[in-house]
Amino acid sequence: MNELVAQYLEAWNTTDAEARKAAVARVFTTDATYVDPMVDVAGHAGLEAVIAGVQAQFPGWTFRLGGPVDAHHDQVRFTWDLGPADGPAVVIGFDVAVVTDGKIAQVFGFLDKVPAAA
């Protein structure tokens, strides 16, 4: 699961549209869903649009693993940080993902720290 979470965060950090499309296809099932307090999407196109939107809102910022990955059966949970590549985390979140056949089928995201301007 550690490798899948690393690939997940890599997809969120991929700024090139074609490379992002390939990363999403590699990490997520075709009908994957992603829901957090700000968005609810399904499918690769929806995921790609959400990722592109976050990148536009926070240009140059990087998603990083914020702690250990915890997994059992077909589910995984982990904390992530978002901030400038050379600076402290500005946004902190916590995701729970359900895995099917080695790919992420569902993500339930929680936002623990969000700046007022976000």
Top-confidence residue, 115 or 56: 56
Contact 79, 110 (CB under 8 A): no
- How far does CA 98 lie from the centroid of its chain? 13
> Considering the chain, what is the average pLDDT of its residues?
96
118, pLDDT greater than 80? no
Task: Place 110 in a pLDDT band, splitting at 50, 70 and 90.
Answer: very high
Helix/strand/coil (H, E, C) string of the chain? CHHHHHHHHHHHHCCCHHHHHHHHHHHEEEEEEEEECCEEEEHHHHHHHHHHHHHHHCCCEEEEECCCCEEECCEEEEEEEEEECCCCCCEEEEEEEEEECCEEEEEEEEEEECCCCC
Does the reported pTM lie above 0.75?
A: yes
Place of tokens 């869903």: 33
Contact 110, 99 (CB under 8 A): no
pLDDT at 115: 82
The residue-averaged pLDDT of 101-115 equals 96
Place of tokens 């969120």: 12
